[in-house]
Amino acid sequence: MTGNEHGGRLGEEFFTPGSSSFTEFLAAHRPELLSTRRVLPDGVRAAPDQVPHGTTVLALTFRDGVLIAGDRRATMGNLIAQRDLEKVHPADDHTAVAFAGTVGLALDMVKLYQVELTHFEKIEGVAMTLDGKARRLAGMIRQNLGQAMQGLAVVPLLTGYDPSAPEGERGRIFSFDVAGGLYEKADFHAEGSGSPYARGALKKLFRKGLDRREAALTALQALYDAADDDSATGGPDISRRIFPIVSVITEDGFERLPETETEHLSREMVEQRRARPDGPNATP
């Protein structure tokens, strides 16, 4: 791909009109660079206690857009593999992706997806629509189906700000299954091993019209409930100062909440839990 095999010149494939998909370009000319295409030998499955897995991520809409958040823990079986994993990443200026599942493959998929969106915009001269971004990510997950069936699944969560949507509905959330099935979710969603508990908390605490601070506290409460019942999900680590990653996407674009703000909100939530260990009641 560097041109060295052509005496320092780019190969003919770089000058041949084709798809605006960078993934399709790699699949045609350098498929060995696509980690999602590599399948283990027949009959071999990945040992779950030998591969780091990311756990709980979630998203919810709020007054100005959509919020996406994740805990920081990765596990290998019953071991904590990493305490400060970053599971939430910007895909472009108005889109973000978080992941649960096999960490190595997920990070590769996120990087490839970022390049995919940038490549499309450079080739076509316009940004891909949010629906197009969701379909493109679904296609990339589908390419990983062989590895998913061998125990190396990646389950992303996609959020974006859609200026073409009606007012009040511009924050959008998309979930996927391991076969690339695409589903749009209303109001909130969670993925990963702690997702049943996080979704239960979100169902209890979510309401229309939350401001940014209220949405961030709701996300932190949901992640705390997930960590309370799921050993693979990490709660706020006050002593190490490791806190969940919380990001928002609004008309102004993607913004990761500063560490100081996330720490302040996490400490406030933990203090509230001293009086109410099971968390706040549903808002009337």
Give 195-214 pLDDT, tens digit per residue.
999 999 999 999 999 999 99
220 vs 105: which has the higher pLDDT? 220
Q: Which structure tokens are listed for 17?
A: 């009109």
pLDDT at 17 over 60: no
Q: What pLDDT band is residue 1 in, cutting at 50, 70 and 90?
A: very low
pLDDT at residue 2, as a whole number: 46
Residues 6+ apart with CB under 8 A from 171: 61, 62, 64, 65, 66, 67, 159, 160, 161, 162, 249, 250
Amino acid at 221: Q
Per the annotation, the verdict on 55 as an active-site residue is yes
- Rounded Cα distance between 161 and 66, Å, is 7
- Rounded Cα distance between 219 and 188, Å, is 10
116 vs 41: which has the higher pLDDT? 116
Beta-bridged to residue 205, according to DSSP, are none
* Residue pair 172/159 in contact by the 8 Å Cβ criterion: yes
Give 246-280 pLDDT, tens digit per residue.
999 999 999 999 999 999 999 999 999 999 999 99
Q: Which structure tokens are listed for 103?
A: 């960490």
Mean pLDDT of 213-227: 97
Give 123-151 pLDDT, tens digit per residue.
888 889 999 999 999 998 988 887 777 77
pLDDT at 121 over 70: yes
- Rounded Cα distance between 20 and 58, Å, is 31
Percentage with pLDDT > 70 across the chain: 82
Residues 6+ apart with CB under 8 A from 74: 52, 53, 54, 55, 80, 81, 82, 85, 103
Q: Alpha helices, DSSP H only, in 149-278?
A: 195-205, 212-229, 259-275
Q: What pLDDT band is residue 39 in, cutting at 50, 70 and 90?
A: low
- The single residue of 55, 75, 95, 233 carrying the catalytic annotation is 55
pLDDT at residue 129, as a whole number: 95
Percentage with pLDDT > 90 across the chain: 66
Mean pLDDT for all residues in the chain: 87
93 vs 150: which has the higher pLDDT? 93
